[in-house]
Structure 1
Amino acid sequence: MSESLRFHIVLPSRGEERGPGALPPFVTDLRGGAYGPYDQLAQIARAAEIATFHGVLAPFDAGGEESFVVASGVLRHNRWLRAAAGFHPGIATPVYAAKVSASLQRFSSNRLDWRVEVDLDEATARAQGDFLTGADRYARAAEFLTVAKGVWHEEGYTYEGRYFQVLAGGFAGPLAGGAFPRVHLSGTSPEALDLSARHADVHVFGPADDLGALVPELRDRAAALGRAPAFGVALPVLAREDEEEALAEARRRTAAGDPPAGVVGSYAAAAEAIREYAARGVTAFFLDARPRIEEIYRLGEQLLPLLAGPRKETEHAD
C-alpha cells in the first residue's frame, strides 16, 4: 500500500460482540472451554498482521481490559505489528508510565505507541480518581508528556511543575536508549490543539470533525514551534463487494443494536473515502470493523490492495 498511509485496527476492550472469550463462528472448541479472552485478542492481532495492517490500538476503557497488558501481549506474539496503548494521564506517574514503556520497547524492537486520552466524561474521570476539569486536564497532560520525555532522554532530570515533580531522575542502564513511543492525541478544542502542537506525533480526528479547518490550524500551531505532527482519523467501516450488500448488512446490524459505521459501501467506495481523507492531509487510519477477525481479512484482501503502492522491505521495522 502507499508508503504515506498507515492502517491500524481498533481492538475490542471488553471482548468481541459475540461475547468475551467466545469462539469465532467457524471454530468449534473441542477442549471444553480452554479458549479464553486473550486467545480472541491474539487472533485479532494475528489477523491484522497477516492482512498487512501496520498496527492495532488497544483503547483506553475504564471498565475494560488494561491496554498496556493487551499491547504487551500483541507485541510479544507478532513480529511486525505496532501496538498503541490507550491510557489516561491520571492513571500513574509519568515516570512509571515511561518505565513500563521503556521495557516494552526493549522487548518489542520499539513497536509501542501511546494513545493518550485526556478529556474523559466527568463520571468516568471521577471513577478513576480524577477530579480535574476543563483546561486543567490539558495542562496536566502537557506536564505528563514533558516529564515522561524528560526522564526518557536525560540522566539527572529534574522537573518542578504544578502536577508532577522529579528530582535527579532519568533512565540509565538497560532502560536507556530506546525510541520514545509515538504519541497519539485527539480533540478539537484550542487546548487539545495546543497540546498536540507541542507533543503529538499523530493527532487523531473523528470522522465528523471539520478537517478542512482543523488540519491547517493544528499545522500552523505546530509549525510555530518547529514541529510537524501527522494526522489520523478514527473511522468505523463496513465494506462489501457492492453498496447494496453493504447497506443490507448495515441495516441488519442496526436492527441488532450495533453502532453504525462511518463508511458504508463497496470496497471501491471505501477506498475513495480514504483517498479523500488523505487529500486533506490524513495519513493514519484507525479502522473499527466488526466482527473483527472476519472483517480484518475482508479489508486486507479487498480494501488495502486498492490503496497499494510501492512498499519498502524495512517498513515494518521502524
Structure 2
Amino acid sequence: MAAYPDFLVTVPTQGDGRDPLRRDRGEWQPGARRPLPPFVTDLRPGASSAFDHLAQVGRAAEIAAIGGAFVPFDSAGEESLVVAAGLLRQSRHLRVVAGFHPGIATPVYAAKFSASLQRFTGNRLGWQLDVDLDPAVARSQGDFLPGADRYARAEEFLTVAKGVWHEEGYTYEGRFYQVLAGGFQSPNSGLPFPRVYLTGTSPEALALSARHADVHLFTADQDVETGIGELAAQSAQEGRPVEYGLRLPVLARDDDEEAWAEARRLWDLAGGVGEGLPDPDPRTRLWGGFGRIAGPGASGLVGSYETVAAGLRGYLGQGVTTFVLESRPHIEETYRLGERLLPLFAKEIEHVH
C-alpha cells in the first residue's frame, strides 16, 4: 500500500482551451479555431492531428515528473482506451489509467487487449471501471442492465478478467459470463494485472472495492472520511488492502489573490459576468464553481500552491494517498502542478524513502 502521495493528471476528452467555452485545442470545436496569424506560411490542413494535443498533455505530465495520467470514460468524448494506448506509446514512464464500463466488451477481450498493452508498454496500464452509469448514458451505450445487477456484472467481469489473466485452462460459469478452458499463454501470461480503480459510496460499490479494487476513488463532495472507514472495515474482512484516492479539480497560483483573480476571469468567460463569485465552503475551503468553468464535476480547491497543498494534506491525514487532479488548460496547468505544487510534498516522499 502506498504511504506517500501519488499524483495523476486528468486528460481532456472533449478538447481544451484557455476559454472554458471555447475548446479549440484537439480539433474538438473546429468552428472555434482562431485564425492563423499572418506570419504562418504553411496553411495546409492537417498539420497536426486531434491526438497531438492529448500527447502534449501526457508529455507535460512526464516531463513535470507527475506519476500518471487518468483518461476518464466519456460517452460524448474521445474513446478512453484508444487515448490511453496512444499515451502509453508516446511515453516512456507515464502510467495511464483508462476509464471504461463493463458493458464495453467481454472481460476476456478486455483482459487480452490489456495484456498486449502491458507487454508493449512495460506494465503501465490501469483500469478505472465506471459501474453505476447514469441510466440514460448507459442506454445510449447499448447497456440496459438495471440497478444492483450492474455491480453483480462488474463483480463477474473482474473475476473473469483476473481468472483468464492468471490461470491457464480457466473455466467460469456465471450469470453474465461463461468461459470454458480459457486463460492466457506466453507471452501474454505472467504479466501484472492492471491496477484497478473503482468509485462510489453505496454499499454495493464499497463491497466491490473491498474484493477487487487496488485504489478506491472518492470525490470531494462525498463524505470521504466515512467512506474510508467503511471500506477499511470491509477490506480487512476480505483480507486485502485497498488504497484510497480522490478526484479533485484545482486552481493554484503563486498567491491566493492571483488564484482567485484567475477564478474570477474564468467565471466571467463562462458566462458569469455580473454574477457574484461563489464563496468557498468556510469549513472545507472547497469551491463549487468548477462546475461552470471546467464542466460538470465535484468541488475543488482554489488558492496559492501552499494553500492547495495544505488542502491535500488534510486528505492525506484521512488516509488518501492518490490524487487525480484536473486543471484547465491542461498542458500549461500540468506543468504548473508538476513544477510548483508537487515539490511541496518532497518531505512526505523523502520521509518514506
TM-score, normalised relative to structure 1: 0.93
Q: How far 1:24 sits from its partner (Å)?
A: 11
What is the distance in 2 between the residues matched to 1:241 and 1:94? 46
What does the per-residue CA deviation read over 1:187-246, in whole Å, with 9 as the maximum and x for residues that have no partner? 000000000000000000001111221101101101101011100000100001111111
State how 1:92-107 maps to structure 2 within 5 Å.
Answer: 92-107=105-120
What is the distance in 1 between the residues matched to 2:145 and 2:199? 18
Structure 1 equivalent of residue 217 of structure 2: 204
| 1:309 alignment partner, SS class | helix
| 1:256 alignment partner, SS class | helix
What is the distance in 2 between the residues matched to 1:180 and 1:250? 40
Q: Check if 1:273 corresponds to 2:278.
A: no
Structure 2 equivalent of residue 110 of structure 1: 123
Q: Check if 1:237 corresponds to 2:250.
A: yes
Q: Is the 8 A contact 1:21 1:35 kept in 2?
A: no
Q: Which has the larger radius of gyration?
A: 2
Q: How far 1:309 sits from its partner (Å)?
A: 3.4
What is the distance in 1 between the residues matched to 2:75 and 2:102? 13
What is the distance in 2 between the residues matched to 1:164 and 1:65? 28
Q: Is the 8 A contact 2:5 2:349 kept in 1?
A: no
Show structure 1 runs of 5+ residues with no match: none
Q: Check if 1:307 corresponds to 2:320.
A: no
Q: Is the 8 A contact 2:13 2:71 kept in 1?
A: yes
Q: Is the 8 A contact 1:236 1:263 kept in 2?
A: yes
| 1:179 alignment partner, SS class | coil
What is the distance in 2 between the residues matched to 1:255 and 1:171? 54
What is the distance in 2 between the residues matched to 1:248 and 1:233? 26
What is the distance in 2 between the residues matched to 1:292 and 1:58? 12
State how 1:22-171 maps to structure 2 within 5 Å.
Answer: 31-32=42-43, 33=45, 34-171=47-184
Q: CA RMSD in A?
A: 2.2
Structure 1 equivalent of residue 12 of structure 2: 12
What is the distance in 2 between the residues matched to 1:21 and 1:29? 19
Worse-matched range after superposition: 2-11 or 174-183: 2-11
Task: Report how many aligned residue pairs link the two structures.
Answer: 312
Q: How far 1:14 sits from its partner (Å)?
A: 1.5
Structure 2 equivalent of residue 289 of structure 1: 327
Q: How far 1:302 sits from its partner (Å)?
A: 1.1
What is the distance in 1 between the residues matched to 2:49 and 2:90? 16
What is the distance in 2 between the residues matched to 1:3 and 1:166? 38
Q: Is the 8 A contact 1:236 1:289 kept in 2?
A: yes
Q: Is the 8 A contact 1:244 1:265 kept in 2?
A: yes
Report the AA paired with residue 181 of structure 2.
A
Q: Is the 8 A contact 1:47 1:293 kept in 2?
A: yes
Q: How far 1:156 sits from its partner (Å)?
A: 0.6
TM-score, normalised relative to structure 2: 0.84
1:10/1:31 CA distance change after superposition, 3 Å: farther
Q: Is the 8 A contact 2:24 2:34 kept in 1?
A: no
1:35/1:3 CA distance change after superposition, 3 Å: farther
Show structure 2 runs of 5+ residues with no match: 18-22, 28-32, 271-292
